[in-house]
Structures are given as C-alpha cells and as structure tokens.
C-alpha cells in the first residue's frame, strides 16, 4: 500500500479509528433501547390506537351475551340518527309520508315507505334509544329485586346513580374540548360562513357563531357547557345541537332509578301493573320520553321472567330451536311497532296506512295543530312495541347479533356525540365541493353528491368513534368505577 508522503504513521494515529469506532458503538448501544421503545412500543401503541378494531385480526371473537342484541339495536339506531342528521340538510322530502299530498304531492319514492324510512327517521330512533336505556339500566336491579338480594340491589343502585353523570358527560366534554379547539384554530370558519348563506334545500342546522377572538369564543363555549351540565334545563347546545339528548338522558335515568327503588320490594305482578299504569300516566301528561324509560323497565322484567322460566323448565320440556321461530302474533307486533315508528312528520292524514289512524287520534274540535303531538306519541308507542316484539321472539333478534351490529353498538355513543361536529366541518362542505365539481341539476348528480359525501364522512366518523371508544369512552367507564371504589366506605 502506498501512503502519501506527508502522512505520519504513529501508534496514536493507528488507534484513532479504533477508538472512534468504539465510541460510536457505545453511543449506539446506549440509544438502542430508546430507539426500540420509540420505533416499536410507541409506534405500535399509536398504530394500535388509531387502527380500527374491525381490522385487528388477532382480536379473539368474544361470546355474545344473551342481551347483546340490545347493543346491536342501539348501534343501528345510532347509525340511522347520523344518516338523518346528514341528509335532512339537503332536502325536506324526508318529512312527508308515502303517497301523501303534502309538499307538492308526487311522494311515491321508495325511501318514503313505512319501515324503509326507519333508516333515516331521527326521532323514531331516539325513541328507541330511550327504551333501550330503560332496559339496560333496569336489567340487573330487576333481577336482584326478584331474587330479593337487597344488599346487592342497594350496591347496584348506588353504583348506577354515582357513575351515571360521569358515564354520560366525560366523553361529551372530551369531544367538546376538541370542538372549541377546532373553532379557535379556524376549522369552523367555513362551516359558519356556509350557515350564513345556506346553499342546500333542507334544514339549516343552527350552530355557534364564530367570534372575533379566541377568548370570546372560549367564554361563550364555557357558558354553553355550564348550561349543558344542568339536567333541569331542556336546551339545545349550540356547539352541537344533538347533545340535547344528554341532559334528558341523565334526568330520565335518575327518575328511572327512583322508580326502581320505589317499586323494588313490591310483588312482581303488582310491580308490573304499576309500571304499566305509570307508563300510561306519563304518556297522558305529555312526558312521553320518561314513559319510554318506564317501558324499558317493564321490558327488563319481562326478559327476566322469560330467563327464569327457561331455567326452571326441565331439559326435556325446554323449547326447541324450531319453536323460537317467529309466530304470527310476534310478527304482527313487530310490524305494528315499525309502522308506528315510521309515522311521517307531515302528511299522515293523506298517507296510505296512516289515514285511519290519523283520523282516529285527531280531535277535530280542537283548534291547535295536533300533528306533532300525535306523531310523537305514536312513534313512542311504536318504539315500545317494537322492542317488546324483540324481547318476545329470539328469531327477530338475529340481525342485531351479527358482528357488524355488535361493533356499531360498541361505538354507538362516541358515534353519536362525534357525528355533529364532523358533519359541519367536513360533511356538508364536502357535498358542496362534489356538486361544484359534477353539478347538482339532475336527480342523479344531486343524489350522488349526497350519497358519496355521506360515505366519505361516515368512514371518518366511524374511524374517529372507534378511536374514541378505546381512548375515551372505555377509560371513562373505568375511571368512574375506580373512583367509586376509592371513595366508598
């Protein structure tokens, strides 16, 4: 090997590369664990958090609980409410009944048919929510009351009442903190401008005003959140109108807990009779939403009676699978419930299937407009009858026990409290952008813009709801339980 003439070869110069190499190895050795943490553990945790649950192949399929169908019904109802809040901003046709003469007539579209319209009937699905809440909150207390296990009954009621507020409000406040952050960063500016000159042919949902400074915005938001915390008010929070149900859910839950305690030591047949009378009374005094919670309590007792009868029967006398197939009676009840739930907001008096019922319920001597009252009451009765048919016939529960239904049930609450802000920030502007690109003059392009916009928005909403279910919703439940354990005597 030939060396340059001015290069001096010494022991130090020969050892220098070796020392440098060792020093580099030491640094590499020191950083290797940190790199492993940063590149593997942290990265995997982030990916695990944002990766949708249904894409995780290593997740073991859990055995569906016998009452798991309740979550499935809740999941579909939440999705249908989301769809309703999306499409009602683009058309008023969802208001009218099939074949009615309202809004220019010609109301013979497929999506206006009874039962079909359940896929976007907002108030009908909210009525289903109320009954489901009544069932879910009552199942364990009713079971313990029937077993006369009073110590466990008291512990259950204490836990339910103590944790109810946290269960409802903690996830809501997290989402609302994200909303005010987005507003301060300017992500709501276009949504606010769009609301000022509404370009669509449907409902212009009221939303909060984008104020001049972030401090003014935060003060306004804090005032709205303070009102939302008050269960004695019936407000429509301007930072998300759809949160009106949260106040009522909390209020009605407390009423239900009081009824559960008050009726707990009564004999079963007396308790069932009083629940039926209380349901009727609440409907009569225009407290129909509370009536639905009470109906849920009655259905919870019915489910418990069925479960007890199934256990008590000898194996030779237990009904076979064939005997669980739908009977004519349960089928009639199922359709009756769905038909009443599909009661149109307008045009019931001229819509086939509702004309006779509308005339029967209308007080023609009254000068007040009774359409909304009749519609609300019929939808409430429909929700109770629909869920009663599912409680009575296991075969009808099958669509609500699929993996899709159970998954939607798992993310139903996050989906409900997220979809409103996403609709305003992404969904409605997206439809406008699609129409600007392809036009909206023809029925096809008009419908395509709404449909394609909804599909994109739905993917975003479901993805975010999945993340929130893992990072916010489930931890809030655990937090409530841990707080209860720490503070209990």
Q: What is the three-state SS of 440-465? A: CCCHHHHHHHHHHHHHHHHHHHHHHH
79 domain residue, yes or no: yes
54 domain residue, yes or no: no
Answer yes or no: are the C-beta atoms of 114 and 98 closer than 8 Å.
yes
278: closest CA among 299, 264, 292? 292
Per residue of the chain (489 residues), what is the pLDDT tens digit? Answer: 443 444 444 444 444 545 454 444 444 444 445 444 455 665 666 766 677 776 765 555 566 777 899 999 999 999 999 999 999 999 888 889 898 888 777 888 899 999 999 999 999 999 999 999 999 999 999 999 999 999 999 999 999 999 999 999 999 999 999 999 999 999 999 999 999 999 898 999 988 999 999 999 999 999 999 999 998 889 999 999 999 999 999 999 999 999 999 999 999 999 999 999 999 999 999 999 999 999 999 999 999 999 998 877 555 455 544 444 568 899 999 999 999 999 999 888 889 999 888 888 876 666 566 778 888 999 999 999 999 999 999 999 999 999 999 999 999 999 999 999 999 999 999 999 999 999 988 989 999 999 999 999 999 999 999 999 999 999 999 999 999 999 998
Write the DSSP symbol of residue 102. Answer: S
Sign of CA dihedral 271, 273, 279, 284: negative
Partners of 346 in beta bridges? 96
59 domain residue, yes or no: no
366 domain residue, yes or no: yes
Answer yes or no: are the C-beta atoms of 254 and 268 closer than 8 Å.
no
170 domain residue, yes or no: yes
Structural domain boundaries, residue 157: 64-487
183 domain residue, yes or no: yes
250 domain residue, yes or no: yes
Helix (H) or strand (E) holding 124: helix 122-147
20 domain residue, yes or no: no
pLDDT at res. 58 = 55
What is the total count of domains within the chain?
A: 1
């Amino acid at each position: 090997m030939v060396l340059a003439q001015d290069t001096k070869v010494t022991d130090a110069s020969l050892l220098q590369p070796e020392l440098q190499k060792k020093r580099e190895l030491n640094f590499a050795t020191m950083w290797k664990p940190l790199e492993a943490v940063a590149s593997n553990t942290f990265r995997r945790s982030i990916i695990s958090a944002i990766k949708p649950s249904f894409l995780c192949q290593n997740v073991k399929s859990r055995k569906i609980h016998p009452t798991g169908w309740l979550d499935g019904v809740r999941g579909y109802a939440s999705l249908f409410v989301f769809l309703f809040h999306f499409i009602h901003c683009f058309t008023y046709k969802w208001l009218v009944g099939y074949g009615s003469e309202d809004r220019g007539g010609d109301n013979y579209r497929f999506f206006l048919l009874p039962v079909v319209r359940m896929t976007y009937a907002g108030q009908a699905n909210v009525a289903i929510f109320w009954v489901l809440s009544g069932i879910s909150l009552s199942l364990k207390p009713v079971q313990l009351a029937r077993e006369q296990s009073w110590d466990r009954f008291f512990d259950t009621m204490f836990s339910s009442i103590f944790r109810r507020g946290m269960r409802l409000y903690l996830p809501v406040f997290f989402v609302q903190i994200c909303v005010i952050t987005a507003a301060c960063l300017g992500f709501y500016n276009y949504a606010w401008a769009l609301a000022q000159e509404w370009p669509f042919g449907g409902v212009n949902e009221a939303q909060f005003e984008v104020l001049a400074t972030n401090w003014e915005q935060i003060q306004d938001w804090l005032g709205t959140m303070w009102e939302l915390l008050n269960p004695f008010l019936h407000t429509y929070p301007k930072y998300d109108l759809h949160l009106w149900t949260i106040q009522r859910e909390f209020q009605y839950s407390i009423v239900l807990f009081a009824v559960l305690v008050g009726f707990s030591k009564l004999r079963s047949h007396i308790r069932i009779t009083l629940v039926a009378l209380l349901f009727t009374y609440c409907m009569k005094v225009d407290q129909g939403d509370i009536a639905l919670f009470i109906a849920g309590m009655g259905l919870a007792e019915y489910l418990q009676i069925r479960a007890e009868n199934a256990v008590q029967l000898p194996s030779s006398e237990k009904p076979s699978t064939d005997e669980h197939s739908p009977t004519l009676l349960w089928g009639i009840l199922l359709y009756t419930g769905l038909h009443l739930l599909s009661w149109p907001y307008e045009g019931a008096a001229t819509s086939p299937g509702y004309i006779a019922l509308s005339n029967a319920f209308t007080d023609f001597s009254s000068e007040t407009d009774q359409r909304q009252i009749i519609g609300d009451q019929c939808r409430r009765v429909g929700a109770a009858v629909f869920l009663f048919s599912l409680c009575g016939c296991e075969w009808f529960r099958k669509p609500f026990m699929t993996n899709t239904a159970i998954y939607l049930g798992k993310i139903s609450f996050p989906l409900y409290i997220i979809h409103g802000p996403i609709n305003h920030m992404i969904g409605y502007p997206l439809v406008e952008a699609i129409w600007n690109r392809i036009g909206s003059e023809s029925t096809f392009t008009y419908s395509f813009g709404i449909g394609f916009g909804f599909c994109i928005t739905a993917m975003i909403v479901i993805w975010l709801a999945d993340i929130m279910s893992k990072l916010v919703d489930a931890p809030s439940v655990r937090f409530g339980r841990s707080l209860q354990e720490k503070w209990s005597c």
